[in-house]
Structure 1
Amino acid sequence: MRKVILLSACCALSLQVSAQISWPQITSQTKPWARWWWQGSAVNEKDLTGNMQLYHNAGLGGLELTPIYGAKGSESQFIQYLSPAWVDKLVYTLKEGKRLGLGIDMSNASGWPFGGPWIGDADAAKDVVVKTYALHAGEQLKDTVQYIQQPLVTAEGAVPTIETLVDPIGNTKNLQALALVQVKFKKPLPLQVLMAYGDTGQSIDITNKVDATGKLNWTAPAGNWNLYAVFMGWHGKMVERASPGAEGFAIDHFSEAAIKTYLNHFSEAFKGRDLSGIRAFFNDSYEVDDARGQANFTPQIFDEFKKRRGYDLREHLPQLFAKTPTEDDLRVLCDYRETISDLMLYNFTLPWHSWANARGALIRNQPHGSPANILDLYSASDIPETEGKDPLRFRFATSAAHVSGKKLVSSESATWLNEHFLSSISDVKQAIDKYLLGGVNHIFYHGISYSPQSAQWPGWLFYAAVHFVPNDPTWRDFSALNQYIARCQSFLQLGKADNKVLLYYPIFDSYSEAGKALLKHYDNMLPEFKGTGFEATATTMLNSGYGFDYISDKQIANLDGTVGQLNVADQHYQTIILSDIHYLPLATFNKLVQLATAGAQVIIYKNIPVDVPGLANLDSNRKSFKTLLAKLNFTDAGNNIKKAVIGKGAFLLGDDVDQLLAFAAIKRESLTDQGLQFTRRQYDKGYYYFLVNNSKNKVDEWVPLGVKANAVVLFDPMFKQSGLAKLRHNVNGYPEIYLQLLPGESRILQTTSQPVKGNNFAYYQYTGKSAAIKGMWAVKFLEGGPVLPAEVHQTNLTSWTAFDGDDVKRFSGTASYSITFTKPAYHASAWELNLGEVHETAEVYLNGKKLAVLIGPNYQLLIPAGLLKQVNQLEVRVSNLMVNRIIDMDKRNIPYRIFYNTNFPAHFKEDRGTDGLFNASGWELKPSGLMGPVKLEPLKYLNP
């Protein structure tokens, strides 16, 4: 028995029978959005309107405008970033967006990270250089206290010599063509501090003893002395993928003065303009340190450190820069890293947030990759944004949104799913499902390039696949994916997340490990948390069906505890887990004890925390920490679990996450045992589930739910059908629903505590032998290129690349497959049409009526018996990918890689040509068209 797709008349009937079964409203916000690349900002009003109309027609809800490098040959159309002419085009775009119902976000940078030619040495990213000297009693330093920064140039293409560049870098000509990545000019670095450390523990600040020539006018007192000179260098990171007029140095992300200088340039450019149509300003992921070295210093670091950590860092430089650090050395390093994290939050993220909010806009932020506690940076964002493919990575953004009361979580979606031109809409759909399962509810494609009508095929493209462009043949069916996402998000933007477990983010364990550099960068489990209890606990809970969120120390401070519950931002959790951690801040431990005393349950996986992190107030903090530990009197509670009752709550200790959660009475969703994955949200009358069958097997069975319900409505978001699910209750009063899902299919469940009247969801089972649709297929090429091949007739379906002639082998476009067939001589309630193998999307017509668009991974649909005549005409319009035409262009050296800066690199090194760029000339042709076998399966309707 299995579920198939019920179309047209049945769907309309379900909406007429009962108003209680209805889909949420589709808005521009529930539709997917896309990053919109303005290459060279070479835009004009006619093509802006033309592009935006196509996006609107395809079902997009909004765009994020991001200017980047330009296309060669269009230099005369380049518009300087933030110039009056550029702002004119922005104003026009906002006007058109309002007319078309397209929301508009704007990157607060051209390319990434924040930076530009107006960022001088004072505000550019900094690094630290340390020189050490040794003196004995009575000696004076003979060396000059000086450090000369050596020149460095890296670029995306040919690397120019430093002599051809001008300081300041904005005065260098032809920066678009140079595509600089990092530039350091030869220059003396300013001395920040010179400290002398004696062998009996003394430390003396002798910075003011150094004259303008670098001579130290100081005689060493009695004893042996080590001198530490700290110089401030310029990291040299340039803005990546900058558009014309935006090439320059990246800002110092730890300096409030730097972000103010940076944003003031926007304020001046926007002065007197109505930009109220901008919904949000965007910041891409922190990618400063993907160059040589780290941006790890800021001029105010010593003052900031003393203010935030309570002691003078200058007295501990040997510990901070120790090559083989002791435990106390690592405590100083931990405090340095925590201070940098604070500066990312208070000196960058929050001032940027205030600037945007003052202009009536939100911020959408990708803080991952930062040398900071990214949970806190996500929380400070109006719309946290994630990216990638790892579901545990997504949870950093979604968790922060949940515990800080944010309604939207976005994702940079489908970046580099595969090599150029190889990702299908089916691939994208499956990638999007993972984001939705991870708690994302605001999809952004990555991305769409503005392309003028005059551009030769395939048009202007961004270097990172997937290419969502109108010249791709599957664009004609792109709207089917967008409608699917909009229907899913119309539910997932309602209510609130319903996760029951908080997992403590053990950032101080990581801060307290040496690592390979002064700072660490935080993105997902890799590399800092690989193999840790944190990773093990998260993985176990994900696989076992527990809904959970990560939580930071700052976020824990906002928790309110009652008996059996932890509350924050209208979210209600049942427990918090400390996962085999070593260091726990005193304030956090004290808060957890308070929460337990009020009735909360705190789970400790494996080992009890043993110490506080950092050096500040270490003795008093340790004493208080031990006092709190002494309150935890663990006794055997059975099942290999120990329990320490404290107040109305308790701490639980054990080595098995599943056992601990079960002991704490945390109910899991056991549907994960059947190959299903889920996310769950709560609304006033029940719960919404988004379910996906991520197994390789059909689900055709009863599926248990982890919440109580009197009724469950099933929604198929791909084909917009709905109805009451078959429902029964187990002995514990929990519901089980009957579910039929093919691999890769999804459903939305709406549970309710109230009875619901309405139509039943349609279930079917196979009732006879399949009937192959055989005969002569007419294959007519409808649109695409480079030329339309001649019509072909065939009885055996094959890839059209196997047809005779060269035109069909290089063809990328759409072909119509049509055939006449007789209705099978079986009695059936309905028929399943199975197209078999399809490359890549299919529009299905029966007797002249469009039934559905199928985008994969399954190409099956249901045809009600009444739609079949005795003799029928079946037409399937199949669109392939751009790739075969690209292969031909590469073989014939037809240029389409025409871009400055990053001019179309390959995702995989084996796909590089002799010039180092992507080249498909050695590829085999990719299958295209309808390959079948096509068959009809008789179905029997199953009454509930």
Structure 2
Amino acid sequence: MLKRNILTITLFSATLWFFPGKSFAQNSLAWPEITQQAKPWTRWWWEGSAVDTVNLKWIINEYKNAGLGGMEITSIYGVKGEENKFIDFTLPKWMNMLDYTLKQAERAGLGIDMAQASGWPFGGPWVKNADASKYFDYKIYKLSGGQTLKEPVIYDQKGILRQEGQKIDLAVLKKPITANENLQLLAIDQVRYPETLPAETLMAYSEKGEVLDLSAKVGKNGMLSWKAPAGKWTLVAIFQGLHGKMVERAGPGGEGYAIDHFSLSATNNYLNHFDRAFAGHDLSYLRGFFNDSYEVDDAIGEADWTPDFLSQFKSRRGYDLKGHLPALVGLASADENKRVLTDYRETVSDLLLEHYTMAWHKWAAQKSKLIRNQAHGSPANILDLYAATDIPEAEGDDVLRVKFASSAAHVTGKKLSSSESATWLNEHFLSGLGDVKRKMDMYFLGGINHTFYHGANYTPKDAAWPGWLFYAAVHFTPDNTFWEDFPTLNNYVARVQSFLQLGKPDNDVLVYLPFYDAVAIKGRSQLVHFDGIEHGFKGSSFDSAANQLYKAGYSFDFISDRQVQNTKAENGLIRTADVQYKTIIVPAAEQMPLETLQHLVKLAENGASIVFYQKMPQDVPGFNDLQNRRAQLAKIISGLKFSAKTATVGKGRVMLVTDLNDLKLLNVYAEPMTASGIEFIRRANATGKYYFLVNKSGKNITGWVQLNAEAKSIAVFNPLVGQSGYGAIRHKNGNTEIYLQLKNSESVIVQTFDDEDHAANYQYPEVAGEPVSVKGLWTIDFINGGPSLPAQVKTENLRSWTDFEGQDYKNFSGTARYSVKFGKPKSYSDAWILNLGSVESSAKVYLNGNLLETLIGPDYQLIIATSQLKKQNTLVVEVANLMANRIAYMDKNNRPYRKFYNINMSARLKENRGEDGKFTAKNWTPHASGLIGPVSLTPVKFNKPQ
């Protein structure tokens, strides 16, 4: 057994590199094939679906040349002034444009997915009231023996109108909502008309425990024909109403109610619309369909009911909810309230999984199409929703939130998990490519291997700058000042994903998700909307365990109760789909379904190791057959005879630990590198393992890095510059170590080989002297951008171009070319670090007419071989700044560019909101731009690591 020693890494104040730049020749290894699927894809906003063949062909070529792999078409709200070009979603003209797009994308080698709604969530004008989302409310009535109810059993539904567009009085809105002709202008998020709702169910409960169904005794006028028998009675009436959630950000022809996600007939009726729209069209090149998260919960009230809920509940939970309505609304004992609420929420979870996600998947599979689904935000076990999807898709800013999607992919044997990436990364117009790269690294560390940028707008070639925009940043469009440098980021993503799509996940631990603890907590609303750990599990033992495991360097995935049932023990390991894990950890679950515990014990009996962290579950969830299930659970737990943390069960064992470091007793070890600030994700194939590593320490790192993998040789790949080679390794105290030099935020991929012995051919640079300043007269030419091109500048003192005299420099967003001549430094070295100093925000670097690299940050340094330097040299640096300064100029001078229906356009930060509550940059001061320097050359030599 390998000994696991804590990693020791030396930190140097000097900047060191593991990889020389493209300009320095060395032996290299072949990268995996860069496939269409390995390249980054993007959400592709069709505003108003105002697309035409000329501009579709042009912009598809732009995407191809930028290095994208595909696009996901999402039809959304339109652009004001372009109404004559609007195309209604899924109508014949729209379908013709889809046909054309598929042909052009195939010609360009780009993939196409399609969002199956105009906006989100699923819904549209063809969704009738019967299929629209529903909610329930209730009333309580008290009667004594001999009394009759004097008031009608009715519910006065209050009107609701939430809008992003032109304000209108609810009283003048036509019914149904789709009868209104100006829905793009109104941009309605939610609407409920005032009306009187009849009771769906009326139940009576006596103080002696009698239960009567009075529903049939309620007349059409709402009056109850019933006299209360002797005793005191509580009557509970349930009312069903239209929730009123509309499709959000809908484009023309897509405005309408969101569907009832809990109704199978509503889902099928919704999908039947697409069957009719697709008839006669060749969609063979279309890869799949997409759903942009649940997002019914962001309205007033919740969609928490469906017409056949009571019958669905009875068939699934084994008892009649009508007998326990007081518990559903919190009027019974605390224990009964909790258990009935748990059963209610579990039923909602089941319906969302089976009647929506699985039904949609079945429909798509019949067309040989994939589905991508964002399950987060749903009132359900999102691990199960993700697992019912071909490509689970995450979004967000937290690596553990992302792991919910990738875990479902790993546990169920799916090759891909995707992400909606860089949504609201910074404020509008303030995100550079380096910012996006850092965000992409977080997704990769979370297990994502098929990214979608958020997003790219279709924009006509002749549209005035900044083109057509979406209400959320980042704007990946040809009008963005970083567009010419965008391929560098895309090549980076493609190289990383080319590895992360190979082999299989190589995680040691499965972490059980205590879903039933979460749904037992009443909270502020009837449902719990799960969104990673933050929403649903914050502060729980699961939260604590997951964060401890990640920070300590353990590799793990999450697993649900339903997924536990599909695992089996195999050679002492736990197999699920086509991967194996060393153990399942159960983090202090208060309640656990009897079936789950039974299966965990069965796994142990067959040779697996199961770990309970902090304590064993002491109860079962739910109400039905409670005493019998409790007794069986207690019997199983009492049968576990622990000695020194371990109970032997059949061929395996069950452990009860209070310290996660006890995982070492199962030969489960953390990767020591995390102690120094290197984060990782690991995959495996037949010849060894792949690690994607990111230096998150905030410092530059150089030294020996221990890997929990035996290896005879290790290849290293730098995805940003595309270089590769065999690294220096050593075996120390039974451990395999590789020598790495990682700049802050730098990422590399290391590939271990179990049986192949390759000599190290990488040369490791070390600083060999003091930096030499690159001095001289810099000529600065502004070559592309606006609002106008500033005049040429010549200076010996580099600084932000916004500091030059004249307003043109302060307003300018675009590209400037910096040129300087310098002599070859006198001191000898193997190579030189060219350090550009401060750059805002990306830079192409040319030496003597040859392109060396495009630098996107966070640092702006590369290595130049001494042989590339002449006696006299010309350095050219083309720097693109952000869009911000030109946008600020437009806002300060009332130049229109915010010309969109619906949300037009929101600010991420409150300080950037104008008097109208929308985004403005009019108060911005100029953002630093250009080559700020200082520029220097630092000598380096290459030495064998010691």
Short-chain TM bin: over 0.9
Question: Which residue is equivalent to 1:831?
Answer: 832
**8 Å Cα contact 1:631-1:646 kept in structure 2:** no
Instruction: Name the SS for the 1:672 alignment partner.
Output: helix
Query: Residue by residue, what CA displacement relative to the aligned partner does 1:837-873 show, whole Å, maximum 9, x if unpaired?
Result: 0000000000000000000011110111110111110
Of residues 688, 709, 723, the one that matches 1:707 is: 709
**8 Å Cα contact 1:153-1:159 kept in structure 2:** no
Of residues 387, 395, 405, the one that matches 1:387 is: 395
1:108-507 equivalences in 2 (<5 Å): 108-322=116-330, 326-507=334-515
1:13-24 equivalences in 2 (<5 Å): 14-15=27-28, 21-24=29-32
Query: Residue by residue, what CA displacement relative to the aligned partner does 1:700-728 show, whole Å, maximum 9, x if unpaired?
Result: 10000011111100001111111111000
Report the Cα offset of residue 14 of structure 1. 2.3
Query: Residue by residue, what CA displacement relative to the aligned partner does 1:718-767 show, whole Å, maximum 9, x if unpaired?
Result: 111111110001222x2100000100111001101122446612211011
* 1:653 aligns to 2:661 (yes or no): no
Question: Which residue is equivalent to 1:27?
Answer: 35
Report the Cα offset of residue 6 of structure 1. 2.5
Letter in 1 for 2:691: Y
Instruction: Name the SS for the 1:375 alignment partner.
Output: helix
Distance in 2 of aligned mates of 1:323 and 1:371 = 23
**8 Å Cα contact 2:79-2:901 kept in structure 1:** yes
**8 Å Cα contact 1:711-1:751 kept in structure 2:** yes
Report the Cα offset of residue 453 of structure 1. 1.8
Instruction: Name the SS for the 1:503 alignment partner.
Output: strand
Query: Residue by residue, what CA displacement relative to the aligned partner does 1:37-59 show, whole Å, maximum 9, x if unpaired?
Result: 00000010000111111011000
Distance in 2 of aligned mates of 1:270 and 1:762 = 58
Distance in 1 of aligned mates of 2:937 and 2:618 = 66
Letter in 2 for 1:14: N
Question: Which residue is equivalent to 2:5?
Answer: none
Report the Cα offset of residue 124 of structure 1. 0.5
Instruction: Name the SS for the 1:889 alignment partner.
Output: helix
**8 Å Cα contact 1:94-1:277 kept in structure 2:** yes
Distance 1:323 1:477, change over 3 A: farther
Query: Residue by residue, what CA displacement relative to the aligned partner does 1:110-158 show, whole Å, maximum 9, x if unpaired?
Result: 1100011111110010000101111111222111111121211110144
Report the Cα offset of residue 227 of structure 1. 0.9
1:613-762 equivalences in 2 (<5 Å): 613-635=621-643, 637=644, 642-658=645-661, 660-732=662-734, 734-757=735-758, 760-762=761-763
Question: Which residue is equivalent to 2:560?
Answer: 552
Distance 1:324 1:433, change over 3 A: farther
Letter in 2 for 1:6: P
Report the Cα offset of residue 327 of structure 1. 1.1
Distance in 2 of aligned mates of 1:804 and 1:236 = 56
* 1:591 aligns to 2:599 (yes or no): yes
Distance in 2 of aligned mates of 1:703 and 1:643 = 33
Letter in 1 for 2:295: E
Instruction: Name the SS for the 2:810 alignment partner.
Output: coil
**8 Å Cα contact 2:201-2:215 kept in structure 1:** yes
Report the Cα offset of residue 190 of structure 1. 3.9
Distance in 2 of aligned mates of 1:323 and 1:532 = 27
Instruction: Name the SS for the 1:473 alignment partner.
Output: coil
Query: Residue by residue, what CA displacement relative to the aligned partner does 1:869-912 show, whole Å, maximum 9, x if unpaired?
Result: 11110000000011000011000010101000011111111111
**8 Å Cα contact 1:41-1:70 kept in structure 2:** yes
1:884-899 equivalences in 2 (<5 Å): 884-899=885-900
Distance in 1 of aligned mates of 2:199 and 2:53 = 52
Distance in 1 of aligned mates of 2:523 and 2:829 = 67
Query: Residue by residue, what CA displacement relative to the aligned partner does 1:683-706 show, whole Å, maximum 9, x if unpaired?
Result: 110011100101111111000001
**TM-score for both structures, normalised by structure 1:** 0.97
Distance in 1 of aligned mates of 2:182 and 2:331 = 42
Report the Cα offset of residue 528 of structure 1. 2.2
**8 Å Cα contact 2:712-2:758 kept in structure 1:** no
Distance in 2 of aligned mates of 1:756 and 1:775 = 49
Question: Which residue is equivalent to 2:51?
Answer: 43
Distance in 1 of aligned mates of 2:494 and 2:878 = 24
Distance in 2 of aligned mates of 1:222 and 1:324 = 21
Distance in 1 of aligned mates of 2:770 and 2:171 = 78
* 1:517 aligns to 2:510 (yes or no): no
* 1:940 aligns to 2:936 (yes or no): no
Letter in 1 for 2:649: I
Query: Residue by residue, what CA displacement relative to the aligned partner does 1:802-849 show, whole Å, maximum 9, x if unpaired?
Result: 111111111111011110001111110111101010000000000000
Instruction: Name the SS for the 1:147 alignment partner.
Output: strand
Instruction: Name the SS for the 2:154 alignment partner.
Output: coil
Distance in 1 of aligned mates of 2:231 and 2:876 = 93
Instruction: Name the SS for the 1:782 alignment partner.
Output: strand
**8 Å Cα contact 2:49-2:86 kept in structure 1:** yes
**8 Å Cα contact 1:65-1:107 kept in structure 2:** yes
**8 Å Cα contact 1:302-1:313 kept in structure 2:** yes
**8 Å Cα contact 1:199-1:224 kept in structure 2:** yes
Question: Which residue is equivalent to 2:20?
Answer: 6
**8 Å Cα contact 1:4-1:832 kept in structure 2:** no
Distance in 2 of aligned mates of 1:535 and 1:664 = 22
Q: Which runs of 5+ in 1 are unaligned?
A: 16-20
Distance 1:4 1:706, change over 3 A: closer
* 1:913 aligns to 2:911 (yes or no): no
Report the Cα offset of residue 9 of structure 1. 6.1
**8 Å Cα contact 2:23-2:852 kept in structure 1:** no
1:78-117 equivalences in 2 (<5 Å): 78-117=86-125
**8 Å Cα contact 1:578-1:604 kept in structure 2:** yes
Question: Which residue is equivalent to 1:568?
Answer: 576
**8 Å Cα contact 1:502-1:550 kept in structure 2:** yes
Letter in 2 for 1:768: G
Distance in 2 of aligned mates of 1:868 and 1:142 = 98
Distance in 1 of aligned mates of 2:181 and 2:722 = 56
* Percent of aligned pairs with the same amino acid: 51
Distance in 2 of aligned mates of 1:894 and 1:656 = 61
Question: Which residue is equivalent to 1:781?
Answer: 782
Question: Which residue is equivalent to 2:8?
Answer: none
Distance 1:899 1:509, change over 3 A: same
Report the Cα offset of residue 166 of structure 1. 1.2
Report the Cα offset of residue 562 of structure 1. 3.3
**8 Å Cα contact 1:196-1:203 kept in structure 2:** yes
Report the Cα offset of residue 522 of structure 1. 0.2
**8 Å Cα contact 1:810-1:887 kept in structure 2:** yes
Question: Which residue is equivalent to 2:846?
Answer: 845
**8 Å Cα contact 1:728-1:736 kept in structure 2:** yes
**8 Å Cα contact 1:4-1:862 kept in structure 2:** no
Question: Which residue is equivalent to 1:804?
Answer: 805
Query: Residue by residue, what CA displacement relative to the aligned partner does 1:512-552 show, whole Å, maximum 9, x if unpaired?
Result: 11111111100111132111110111001101110000000
Distance 1:800 1:9, change over 3 A: closer
**8 Å Cα contact 2:87-2:252 kept in structure 1:** yes
**TM-score for both structures, normalised by structure 2:** 0.97
Distance in 2 of aligned mates of 1:102 and 1:122 = 39
Distance in 2 of aligned mates of 1:161 and 1:125 = 23
Report the Cα offset of residue 285 of structure 1. 1.0
Query: Residue by residue, what CA displacement relative to the aligned partner does 1:208-238 show, whole Å, maximum 9, x if unpaired?
Result: 1112111211121222111111110111111
Distance 1:759 1:575, change over 3 A: closer
**8 Å Cα contact 1:106-1:282 kept in structure 2:** yes
Distance in 1 of aligned mates of 2:189 and 2:671 = 48
